[in-house]
Amino acid sequence: MLDENPDITNMVGHSLGGSVAYEAQKNYPDRNLNVSTYGAPVISLPGDPSGKNRYRHPGDLISILDRGANTQSNTSSSSWFNPHTFTGFSNNNVFRTNAVFDPGYSASS
């Protein structure tokens, strides 16, 4: 996909999609990809500078070891019982840049 689309500079991934985005960033270092993840299975320590564009909800068991991620309370009342949801992150920079990786998701919805 990246070989066929050289204009892609931003990748956004939720859960395993976040791991795929990080793997693409690692495999294409010359592309300088900007990667943002939500609830990704990443291991990091608090204060990790690479966590700037990583987000997780408290209680998310998939991203529980990503202590360097930005932890945001889930503001979506329909998702209180699912801390691994993609909703509730609408106040971060990714949505303001319209850098959307998943073609099934619209930043305006």
Q: How many domains does the chain have?
A: 1
Say which residue, 42 or 91, is predicted with more confidence: 42
Q: Identify the pLDDT of residue 89.
A: 67
In a domain? residue 79: yes
Q: Which tens digits make up the pLDDT trace of 12-63?
A: 899 999 999 989 998 999 988 889 899 999 999 998 887 888 989 888 999 9
Beta bridge partners of 11: 35
pTM: 0.73
In a domain? residue 90: yes
In a domain? residue 2: no
Residue 97: name the closest of 22, 6, 12 by CA: 12
- Domain region containing 23: 10-97
In a domain? residue 23: yes
Give the pair of three-digit tokens for residue 14: 């939720």
How far apart CA 93 and CA 36 sit, in angstroms, is 10
Q: Identify the pLDDT of residue 85.
A: 80
In a domain? residue 93: yes
